[in-house]
Amino acid sequence: MIKSTQHLFLDLPTISSSLEPWIAQSSVDGFWSSNSLQMTKAWIRDGLKPRCITRDLKWGIPVPLEKFKDKVLYVWFDAPIGYVSITAAYTDSWESWWKNPQNVELFQFMGKDNVPFHTVIFPSMLLGTGEPWTLLHHISTTEYLNYEAGKFSKSRGIGVFGDDAQTTGIPCEVWRYYLLVNRPEQSDTEFTWSDFASKNNTELLNNLGNLVNRSLSFIVSRFDSKIPPIDQTKFGPREEELIQQVKLHVTLYIEDLEKVKIKQALQTVMSLSRHGNAYLQDRKPWVLYKEDPALCGTVIALCACLVRLLAVLSFPYMPAFSRKVFAQLNVASGELTDEDEVPLDPAVVFFEELPAGHTIGKVAPIFRQITEDEVKALREKFAGRSH
């Protein structure tokens, strides 16, 4: 049955003269991701049209107007307002966040389907008030993560979800690493169990974990668990190269995160770890231990200091891994409070962070191999109920 009904609309054409210049400026100043900008431009390319913001439904947020009391608000009209209201529920000083565009930058993260509601609809609502709202600064958008040449389906049991991951016995840091390094930032990516195992075995176990375990185990077995002194008179071209690589990678890491290049910053961490492994292998401290003990101590102390730095850089991605490294090094976790300044500076000499004579803790491997048999079993377990 067809019947007539009245609805409320957001008058987007009226606000377009303010919205479009704002998009042009904010997308540059806030270095919006390319896919976010493309989807936003697609919405405004042919001219904005009035957008209905009410629905004839029983569930939802009731419209607070007598004439429309039998209707509810369209979810993508009221949901962004929740960003403001949840802040107001948390603090009476909510306006210092939401009406302070000179001092506050708003970063938002989401899947690509929801981009226009955050780059067009919500900003239009705020601009239309004429009040000094904190508008979107940067938006980081992801494409789709697919599963084994298909799609995830919770209802059909296809794919591994958060609660399922706990049952696999695979540590959380492995999950966090794989999902972040496989983050679909520019195009769709795919979760496959073979790739999951490969990245664990080659990147976490054989690269990052290898450097941590070999360096610290050597200190336990050859230096009675004490950090040996670093003799800078022993520095040669290989040490200078390592120091320059540390400075370069920390600089790139900071730049990556400032521009919300999340996956790239993590790849920068792993690149630095590979440089550490190459340095350890080239210098061969197990040979130097007999031939030149002072140089041996310098090499392995530099490696230990690099291990600590890698734990700091990894903390936003794999905090459980970093805490294990801090415990093995017997150092404070380096976690910051709201009042702390971030101590990460490429100009800081990284090898001054662990003093000579410092006693490290108990050393144990952090990562383990995921076998082909495990991969096969996990693939079958999460293949779906029809299998």
- In a structure prediction context, what are the per-residue pLDDT tens digits for the chain, which is 387 residues long? 888 899 999 999 999 999 999 999 999 999 999 999 999 999 999 889 999 999 999 999 999 999 999 999 999 999 999 999 999 999 999 999 999 999 999 999 999 999 999 999 999 999 999 999 999 999 999 999 999 988 989 888 888 888 889 899 999 999 999 999 999 998 999 999 999 999 999 999 999 999 999 999 999 999 999 999 999 999 999 999 999 999 999 999 999 999 999 999 999 999 999 999 999 999 999 999 999 999 999 999 999 999 999 999 999 999 999 999 999 999 987 555 555 455 566 656 677 778 999 999 999 999 999 999 999 999 999 988 654
- Confidence (pLDDT) at 344: 62
Distance (Å) of CA 19 to CA 11, 24, 149 = 12, 9, 40
For tokens 């989401």, name the residue.
Answer: 110
Which amino acid, residue 354?
Answer: L
Distance of CA 369 to the CA centre of its chain: 24
For tokens 């890698």, name the residue.
Answer: 310
- Confidence (pLDDT) at 387: 46
Q: Which residues pair with 106 in a beta bridge?
A: 136
- Confidence (pLDDT) at 154: 85
Residue 30, classified by CB atoms within 10 Å of its CB into exposed (0-12), middle (13-18) or buried (19+), is buried
Q: What confidence tens digit (pLDDT) does each residue in 286-328 have? A: 999 999 999 999 999 999 999 999 999 999 999 999 999 999 9
- Confidence (pLDDT) at 334: 58
Which amino acid, residue 30?
Answer: G
Q: Which two tokens stand for residue 270?
A: 């792993």
For tokens 């209201």, name the residue.
Answer: 85
Which pTM value belongs to this model? 0.90
- Confidence (pLDDT) at 330: 96
Who's near 271: CB < 8 A, 6+ residues apart? 249
End-to-end CA distance of the chain: 42
Distance (Å) of CA 281 to CA 61, 206, 231, 293 = 63, 13, 19, 17
Q: Give the chain's length.
A: 387
What letter would DSSP give residue 229?
A: P
Report d(CA 275, CA 368) in Å as an integer: 21
